[in-house]
Structure 1
């Protein structure tokens, strides 16, 4: 099945990745993982059928009004996982594809991990076959069966959704209770999940590879005080520029949903010299798109055919037909 040409004329699809590795890695929230094989097939498809441009080039097109090549695609990664260097970077370099990596600097070279990944590790690596969780602020009690890895991943997905709805203090209390309940209190979490600065520096030497800011602690900017907001944005930018010795002008909102992107954050991002900011809102972008609310398409863990039908062509004029075809495919073929 040949790709639909012309559907993306004068638009750009910004693809969003997180981790490129294996679902068996209990320390990374499984929803954020694309397998190495699928990533390689996706990149080969893009190299053969699309115009892959850098994010910086797209911003320049918007500012100048110069038309975009048809079927333009930008490749981005959020958070700064080590497998970006170990798995994704060699494939990108081999194919000569540009990409931007957004770093949450509190986790780069420190051994710390995001709370979602800590939760995933505790639930998926713990020895117990059942978990009870109480979230007082939501008046919710949950009992999860952990009989197999599929059940454990479902439990993680549910808990992540619930804990996003509570304040930081209660979230930490629940996480500590789960630590005890899963019997992992005396077991350190994986300390090598995130990039080191040496690895980022090695990647930055390759033409087309760029880095941007994803904040310091990967928190929701819209919930911060004015001073905390400034620190998240300015300190992350400063740290990356110091470590990589290059300007940082690209930003990705942590979480990046509708409630995470507000005018106050936008003004702070602009004031700190960023040329654009990316959300996680689904959609393509055009020459007149708002550079501080750019949309993206999350790249799912699918092979080439599923990638074309489920991600690349989903926003085209034939999108509904393509989704129907994709949804009729056996899961193993996606």
Structure 2
């Protein structure tokens, strides 16, 4: 699980990784015979009984630096990824991060560029990045179902993936995502929830050297239950 790629000098939430660090992390995967792919490609391979050498790479929030900085590095390594975007904040900023810094979000053109790039999947992060567990029924429907419809129209593709803002979900939210037609959904630590609509992920940041990556990779397999249906 990645977020922004760029300058890490002002990064109070530790959500940014520098281009140099990302390049080294992707190289670490490649040297171990692992290949980064989109979540859709990973789950499709798992459904066929394969995918042991694949790693799903995700980038939350849909910052412009995904297209500008992450995609060239991914292509250099022959990797793919999924970027989760916010169609309710096109060309906007990450206003939900109270401490900043402000970063630009992808607009229509940037999302189309990402969707047209080989190996890159565009998924929904909701409309506006709110805590869906606190949303009323109408807001939840709009954030989940309407965002999928808007992205499908924008990209000309069937949007398969959803990512819960902040990683927050409960049974009601997960049911809404499944009922909206998403094939899968990504969380962070889904707790007791399980299945392809509650996929756990590992946060990766600027401090993750090769040693930390190795430990996170090993510990993740020990801490997480096997995902049912994936």
CA distance in 2, matches of 1:229, 1:315: 30
Structure number with greater Rg is 1
Q: Does 1:77 align with 2:62?
A: no
Residue aligning to 1:267: 175
Alpha-carbon distance in structure 2 between the residues aligned to 1:195 and 1:119: 21
> Equivalences for 1:1-334 in 2 at 5 Å?
16-24=1-9, 26=10, 29-49=12-32, 50-62=34-46, 64=47, 66-109=48-91, 111-116=92-97, 118-121=98-101, 193-256=104-167, 260-281=168-189, 290-302=195-207, 304-315=209-220
Runs of 4+ more than 4 Å apart: none
Any conservation in 2 of the 1:51–1:69 contact (CA below 8 Å)? no
User: How far does residue 202 in structure 1 lie from its aligned partner after superposition?
Assistant: 1.5
Separation in 2 of the partners of 1:200 and 1:306? Answer: 34
CA contact (8 A) 2:131 2:166 kept: yes
CA RMSD of aligned residues (A): 2.3
Distance 1:282 1:313, change over 3 A: farther
Answer yes or no: is the 8 Å Cα contact 1:51–1:70 preserved in 2.
no
Secondary structure of 1:229's aligned partner: helix
Contact in 2 for aligned 1:299/1:311 (Cα 8 Å): no
The CA distance in 1 between the partners of 2:221 and 2:141, in whole Å, is 38
Q: What TM-score do the two structures reach when normalised by structure 2?
A: 0.86
Q: How big is the shift at 1:314? A: 3.3
Task: Please state whether the residue corresponding to 2:202 is helix, strand or coil.
Answer: strand
How many aligned positions are there? Answer: 220
Which structure is higher in helix share?
Answer: 1
Give the structure-1-normalised TM-score: 0.60
Q: Secondary structure at the match of 1:210?
A: strand
Bigger RCO of structures 1 and 2 (CA < 8 A, at least 6 apart): 1
For structure 1, the 5+ residue unaligned runs are: 1-15, 122-189, 284-288, 320-334
Runs of 5+ in structure 2 lacking a partner? 224-230
- Paired with 2:190 and 2:219, the residues of 1 have a C-alpha distance of 11
Provide, for residues 203-261 of structure 1, a one-character-per-residue CA deviation record: whole Å limited to 9, x for no partner. 221211010010011111111111110011112112211221111010111111xxx21
